[in-house]
Amino acid sequence: MSIWDRIGEFISRASASALSGVAGMVEAVRTVFEGDADLRRRVAFSVAMIALSAKMAKADGVVTQDEIRAFREIFDIPPEEAHNVARLYDLAKADVAGFETYARRMAGLCGSGHQNCAMLEDILDGLFHIAKADGMLHEREGRFLQRVAEIFRIGEQHYQSILARHLDLGDADPYVVLGIERGRPFEDVRKHYRTLVAHNHPDRLIARGVPEEFIKIATTRIAAINAAYELIERSARAA
């Protein structure tokens, strides 16, 4: 049984129960898949991405073909399972609960007080990928993403590094991209860089529950990290 079969089965069961909208479904992921941690992570990531991208589209007021294409770059959905994704997407858009409720439930799946849960950054990365697909980040999308980051307890410096990876900010500060203070010894920068590369290795992401398609986005993340480090390294050598 594929992940999409399981999600479809979960949606049908949850819809027939007394759960309150998709936010209730997000919370139910914890208990329904309690016996299979790997499947729980994969379902949680998929449900969060679908639901929050629907809420972001509602906040922005329009869904472009570029955003639909970007969504499909994250998820390789079999044609026979597309109706399950569409059903969850439409449920999320129609749900009276605000996106903040969804984000809080997702943060709760990472455990109480879990600062910067890795999967939450992956979700935010996916939302950025969709939001920027039409060539720009609209003001409402920016406010949406920043608020989600706050709920996910992703600090401002960390958020700015994610933002810098995704957007062309002109002469972007490579230290911001790496999320490390300017003026730190180069050896500290190198250690931090190596930690980032290890943290974002495809095997690590798959272990966190992200779909294999997400690795395409992760390579862009790694490319930005590498470019920032190389720029700092060249400056250090020239000093």
Dihedral sign (CA 197, 198, 200, 202): positive
Average pLDDT, the chain: 79
Residue carrying structure tokens 């439930």: 105
User: Rounded mean pLDDT of 147-165?
Assistant: 89
Percent of residues, the chain, with pLDDT higher than 70:
85
Confidence of residue 211 (pLDDT cuts 50, 70, 90): low
Instruction: Give the integer Cα–Cα distance in Å for 151 and 237.
Output: 40
Spell out the residues 6+ positions from residue 16 whose beta carbon is closer than 8 angstroms to its own: none
Res 1 pLDDT > 70: no
For the entire predicted model, the pTM comes to 0.77
In this predicted structure, what is the pLDDT of residue 195? 93
Do residues 122 and 208 make contact, with C-beta atoms less than 8 angstroms apart?
A: yes
In this predicted structure, what is the pLDDT of residue 112? 46
In this predicted structure, what is the pLDDT of residue 120? 86
Percent of residues, the chain, with pLDDT higher than 90:
10
Digit-coded pLDDT (tens) for 89-113:
887 887 777 888 888 888 877 654 4
In this predicted structure, what is the pLDDT of residue 17? 55
Q: What tokens were used for 101?
A: 């409720």
Res 149 pLDDT > 90: yes
Digit-coded pLDDT (tens) for 178-210:
988 888 899 999 999 999 988 888 778 777 767
Digit-coded pLDDT (tens) for 108-125:
776 544 554 778 888 898
Residue carrying structure tokens 């129960």: 17
Digit-coded pLDDT (tens) for 27-83:
677 777 777 777 777 777 788 888 888 888 887 776 777 777 888 777 777 788 788
Instruction: Give the integer Cα–Cα distance in Å for 45 and 124.
Output: 11
Instruction: Give the integer Cα–Cα distance in Å for 152 and 184.
Output: 27
Q: What tokens were used for 155?
A: 């600090």
Do residues 53 and 130 make contact, with C-beta atoms less than 8 angstroms apart?
A: yes
